[in-house]
Amino acid sequence: MKYRKILHLDLDAFFCSVEEKFNPDLQGKPFATGGSPDGRGVVTSCSYAARRSGIKAAMPMRIAIRKCPKLLIVQSHYHTYLAESKKIMTILHNLSPLVEQISIDEAFLDISDLLEAALTIAHRIQSRIYKELGLPSSIGIASNKLVAKIATNIAKVKYRGENAPMAILEVLPGEEAKFLSALPVEEMWGIGLKTVPYLEKLGLITIGDIASANMDILEKHFGKFAKILHQRARGIDIRPVGEDDGIKSISNEITFSRDSNNSKELTNTIKNLSEKVGNRLRKRRLCGFTVRLKVRWPNFETHTRQLTLTQPTNQGSVIYQNALKLFHQIWKAGKPVRLIGICVVNLTPIFQQLSLWDKTYEKESRLLEAIDTLKQRFGRGVIQKGVSTFNYKNDKN
Ligand SMILES: [Mg+2]
């Protein structure tokens, strides 16, 4: 049997490592990126010196300051993180035939077709990213995505040094179930924080407990998810490493069946289009920095305006607020409009750090997912109340 060779790469404290790179004064100091300690801001990334004081990503900033009064709060530079992320992905594409980026600082690589040992390739990738970009990373190696990703986490957790771990951990083919068995269930990729207490109530504390659990009991509690859960707990995962789909923008536009100069109708249309674009971004686990508005007058004259946000978004409400701002820059009351389009460009995969650990964000995302499902189930009517007389035309990408 031929085993696959899968690598999972994850940058070490990515945002903070980038900040240190451009501001070496920060090196060795306890600092964090994230929101303000006055409001409900959370830590998005923290330096290793900060971690030694017990600070973690997703911790409310005011608690972080209490734990470490000397903590420096550094403003996030998302555009710089994105630029560094692109350079990392270019290095990966140069060294591996198949790359799937899953967040701004994480990717899977399928190197099954390369003759060299996986460990050799992992060392080469890690040292090239460090030499060329000055950024530390850790790598997990296994015969599948699930185990490779968990291996990276465990390698980082086990590291006891002062600085970035720059760890590499290989789980050999055939050892997957053994590697997972003693780990607590929350280490299992795909198990949400909410599911953990539920599993514990069933006496399933370790991944090994799930692997040896009675299938009937799992089915009773997890339905059709039981089989996958059972397989994953035994280290089985056949998902392929998928290539990036190369999407550059997400847009939706509407040509009115009759030109409209009704402010409320126009505003509603912008809102609906924004929600639609947000929905499509979330479905693809993307967010974008730039909101672009297109407006066409009845004489076919077309204008576009765009603005770039400091933080990328996939939320309809944020897209809407900004698109509306742009609209009011070019529209004067009473002027008829033939077409409106909303587009989000400068796309990036969602920031894993936030979506996994920031509770508020997690809650909001889950709510949005629920709404997305509802819209799918009940069709367009639910989201497009009051604009049913328009013709819809979606851009391909
Ligand atoms: Mg990372």
Q: What is the DSSP string of 106-151?
A: EEEEE-TT--S-HHHHHHHHHHHHHHHH---EEEEEESSHHHHHHH
Task: Supply the pLDDT for residue 225.
Answer: 79
pLDDT of residue 35: 83
CATH number, domain at 226?
1.10.150.20
Write the pLDDT tens digit of every residue in 233-242. Answer: 999 998 889 8
Residue 202 shares a structural domain with residue 270: no
The 10s digit of each residue's pLDDT in 274-307 is: 999 999 998 888 889 899 999 999 998 999 999 9
pLDDT reported for residue 390? 28
150 inside domain: no
Identify whether the C-beta of residue 16 lies closer than 8 Å to the C-beta of residue 31: yes
The pLDDT value given to residue 343: 95
pLDDT of residue 243: 67
Ligand 1 midpoint to CA 371 (Å) = 29
CA 324 remoteness from chain centre: 26
Considering its fold, how many domains does the chain have in total?
A: 3
In one-letter notation, the amino acid at residue 231 is Q
Residue 174 structure tokens: 């055939």
Of the residues 20, 100, 106, 176, only one is catalytic, namely 106
**3-state SS, residue 171:** coil
Which strands form 31-34's sheet, in the order they lie side by side?
43-46, 31-34, 72-74
Pairing outcome for strands 43-46 and 6-11: unpaired
Distance CA 180, CA 161 (A): 24
373 alpha carbon – ligand 1 mean position (Å)? 30
Distance 391 CA to ligand 1 centre (A): 44
Q: Is residue 322 part of a domain?
A: yes
Q: How far apart are CA 12 and CA 6, in angstroms?
A: 19
What phi, psi does 394 have (nearest 5°)? -100, 135
Instruction: Tell me which of 50, 78, 106 is where a domain ends.
Output: 78
What backbone phi and psi angles, to 5 degrees, belong to 310?
-80, -25
User: What is the rounded distance in angstroms from the CA atom of residue 256 to the CA atom of residue 152?
Assistant: 51
Low-confidence ranges of the chain (pLDDT < 70): 1, 192-193, 243-246, 351-397
- Taking the centre of ligand 1 as the mean of its atom positions, its distance from the CA of residue 137, in whole angstroms, is 8
| Spatial distance between the Cα atoms of 322 and 277, rounded to a whole number of angstroms | 13
The alpha carbon of 237 and the centre of ligand 1 are apart by a number of angstroms equal to: 22
Residues 279, 342, single domain; the answer is yes
Question: Does the annotation mark 364 as catalytic?
Answer: no
State how far the Cα of 252 lies from the Cα of 390, in Å rounded to an integer.
13
The torsion angle over the Cα atoms of residues 53, 55, 60 and 64, rounded to 10 degrees, is 20
- pLDDT, residue 286, reads 86
**Do 221 and 264 fall into the same domain?**
no
Q: Which residue range forms the structural domain that includes residue 31?
A: 15-78
pLDDT of residue 373: 52
Do 303 and 184 fall into the same domain?
A: no
Q: What is the per-residue pLDDT for 362?
A: 43
Strand partners, 100: 108
| Interval between CA 44 and ligand 1 midpoint (Å) | 11
Instruction: Give yes or no: residues 213 and 299 share one domain.
Output: no
Token readout for 375 is: 């819209």
210 plus 256 within the same structural domain: no
Contact between 348 and 288 (Cβ < 8 Å): yes
Are residues 269 and 388 located together in one domain of the fold?
yes
Q: For residue 246, give both structure tokens.
A: 């190369």
